[in-house]
């Protein structure tokens, strides 16, 4: 769980540096961070609930709230599938857009 959180932090820091530097891949990195972080944080919270067994879903412990909050990030701004498509489109701008049509 700590490794997943460290990986998320490292990717966030890379995206921050890219945005600050005005790098051309900054937008793609931000989408990658959003997608990867939302998936990994959900997995960490799910694992925390499982580690606590029946107590993990009890309101008094607060772990179930972390899982509920983490599940919201999977669907905020864009679903994970849309984020994946944005990443592919950033990687292959000449060809990826042909299949999806123009953005509005």
Secondary structure of residue 61 in the 3-state scheme: coil
Note the CATH number of domain 2-100.
Answer: 1.20.140.10
pTM above 0.85, yes or no: no
Extents of the domains making up the chain: 2-100
Summarize pLDDT for 12-54 with one digit per residue, the tens: 999 999 999 999 999 899 989 999 999 999 999 999 999 998 8
Cβ–Cβ < 8 Å for 11, 37: yes
Residue 41 gets the label, from left (phi > 0), alpha (psi -120 to 50) or beta, of: alpha
- pLDDT tens for residues 48-94? 999 998 888 888 888 899 998 998 888 777 777 778 888 888 888 77
């Amino acid at each position: 769980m700590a490794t997943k959180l460290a990986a998320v932090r490292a990717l966030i820091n890379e995206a921050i540096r890219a945005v600050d530097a005005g790098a051309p891949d900054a937008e793609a990195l931000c989408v990658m961070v959003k997608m990867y972080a939302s998936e990994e944080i959900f997995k960490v919270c799910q694992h925390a609930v499982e580690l606590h067994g029946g107590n993990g879903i009890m309101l008094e412990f607060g772990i179930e709230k972390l899982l509920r909050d983490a599940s919201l990030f999977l669907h905020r701004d864009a679903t994970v599938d849309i984020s994946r498509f944005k990443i592919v489109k950033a990687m292959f701008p000449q060809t990826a857009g042909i299949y999806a049509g123009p953005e509005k």
